[in-house]
Structure 1
Amino acid sequence: MEIMVFFSLMLLVCSVSTNQTEADNEIVDQQISNQQPCPQDIHAVLREMAVSLAEQKVEIRTLKQENQDHITKLKELESHKNEIDWLKQKSKEQEAKLETEIDQLKQEQQVKQVAFSVSLLEQGSRDIGPFNIHMTLIFKRVVTNIGNAYNKHTGIFTAPVRGVYHFDWSIYGHGNIQTGAPLFRNGEHIFAAYEHPASGGVSASNGASLLLEVGDQVSVRLWANTRIYDNQNHHNTFSGHLIFTM
């Protein structure tokens, strides 16, 4: 009797265990069916990812290189622009310099023709002097003034170009008083024309060739305490001309 009861219990346990195992297997199968299928070869996937990453790296390097090429081209263009601007500026400077040289050549061509001849009074007659200092004589009557180097308002000739010039001057006096007039270059006494008449009228003259720099001034001055006389015959004259440039 006891043996029969034992076998009955064993059958009951086996039946329960079998049912539990089948239930568990159904739950596991259900969970597996709900999951995404796993790749069959994970190494293949990794290789694909590595290839894709390498391709992206190559593309990135290519983009970097293209970007660097663009930067280099931009720098070259900027350099070319600066060079073009510099060339334009130099061209303007050279054009201005050429215009200046042309103007200078024209001026030099004009100032190569320098000559003047003047006398003391335009009209009438009178004595000039004496004065207690040297006085620049202003020759008012202009016969010739090629190059406009003589100023009839100041009595001064101004050299327009470096060169050798020749000057002549003459003076006329009368009565018992000295007559004298030296030629001055800037403040330098060069030569003098001088007479001391006892009576009547006398004249004196002189000449000089001078090397003048541009802007040098030449004039005739009445000596202190001397006197000259002029009338419609124009006895007192001052003349000069450029011999050659240097």
Structure 2
Amino acid sequence: MRAAISLLVLLLSMCGVQTDVSTELKELRDMVVELKGRHVAIEAENAAMSQRLAVSEYTVQALEQELQDTKVEMKTEVDNLKKENAAQEAELAAVKTRLAATETEVENLEKEIRAAPKVAFSAALGDSAGGLGGGLNLVFQRVITNVGEAYSSTTGFFTAPVRGVYYFRFTVEDVLDSRIMSIRMHKNGERLMQLVEYDTDGQPSYLSSGLALQLEKGDTVNMVIPADYRLFDNSAESRSTFSGFLLFPL
């Protein structure tokens, strides 16, 4: 290109072209050089842009892959959470079922407790008593407690209102000097136990004991003082007492 321009300048000089033509050609050459420089710069810029574009495309691909991986992870996590939630709901349902069963059981037990017979009594002798002949059935006349009305302060007998296990206890006193005191517990008229105490020191003597008895409905329990023995009590102090209560029905 440069050789062609030089040759053109030479021809023009030989032909007598004026000097301003040479100036124009020089300017044209300078323009060509400038265009070449701009072309090189544009190519360099294009190369840089291509590189940036390649980097951007790689970044976009990487982001797309990361997004895809994230979607997969999130789906897996959502599936796991759904499974856990389903398991928790099943467990909650089971707990609710157990709770309902427990509440029903408690309610039934409360009904049984409310429906179960309530039997308990305590009575004091009230006055001194003594056995004559074949003995004396003791009537503890001063009723302190008689839940269920199973004890009779008229006869001195306790009558079991239901089949079950009952506990009975007694305490009696004698204040006579140099005398033997004795007490018996009977069930359905038969002797279950007898306690004896001999007083020689002039001080009050006590006999006290108790029994757990399995009774059928209608069975009776009472206290008896043997013949020729005495017990002491007064209505103000309740020194001789007879008590019993239902442990549990059968």
For the aligned pair, the TM-score class normalised by the smaller chain equals 0.5 to 0.7
Q: What is the CA–CA distance in structure 1 between the aligned matches of 2:162 and 2:140, rounded to whole Å? A: 22
Q: Residues 170-220 of structure 1, C-alpha deviation per residue, up to 9 Å, x if partnerless?
A: 110022221111110012211223211012210111100000000000000
- Secondary structure of the equivalent of 1:151? coil
Which residue of 2 is the match for residue 115 of structure 1?
A: 120
Which residue of 2 is the match for residue 156 of structure 1?
A: 157
The answer as to 2:184 corresponding to 1:182 is yes
The one-letter amino acid of 2:243's match is S
The one of 200, 203, 206 aligned to 2:206: 203
Matches within 5 A, 1:13-92: none
The one of 230, 233, 243 aligned to 2:247: 243
Change (3 A) 1:188 1:109: farther
The one-letter amino acid of 2:195's match is A
Q: Cα distance, 1:132 vs. partner? A: 1.9
The answer as to 2:167 corresponding to 1:166 is yes
| Contact 1:170/1:193, CA 8 A, preserved across alignment | no
Which residue of 2 is the match for residue 20 of structure 1?
A: none
Q: Residues 122-157 of structure 1, C-alpha deviation per residue, up to 9 Å, x if partnerless?
A: xxxx53114121211000111110000000000000
Which residue of 1 is the match for residue 231 of structure 2?
A: 228
Q: CA RMSD in A?
A: 2.0
Q: Cα distance, 1:111 vs. partner? A: 5.6
Q: What is the CA–CA distance in structure 2 between the aligned matches of 1:228 and 1:213, rounded to whole Å? A: 30
Which residue of 2 is the match for residue 80 of structure 1?
A: none
Which residue of 2 is the match for residue 146 of structure 1?
A: 147
> What's the TM-score, normalizing by structure 1?
0.52
Identity over aligned pairs, percent = 36
Structure 2: runs of 5 or more not aligned: 1-110
| Contact 1:113/1:147, CA 8 A, preserved across alignment | yes
| Contact 1:119/1:142, CA 8 A, preserved across alignment | yes
Structure 1: runs of 5 or more not aligned: 1-105
Q: Cα distance, 1:243 vs. partner? A: 0.3
The one-letter amino acid of 1:165's match is Y
Change (3 A) 1:107 1:224: farther
The one-letter amino acid of 1:234's match is S
The answer as to 2:221 corresponding to 1:212 is no
Give the number of aligned pairs: 137
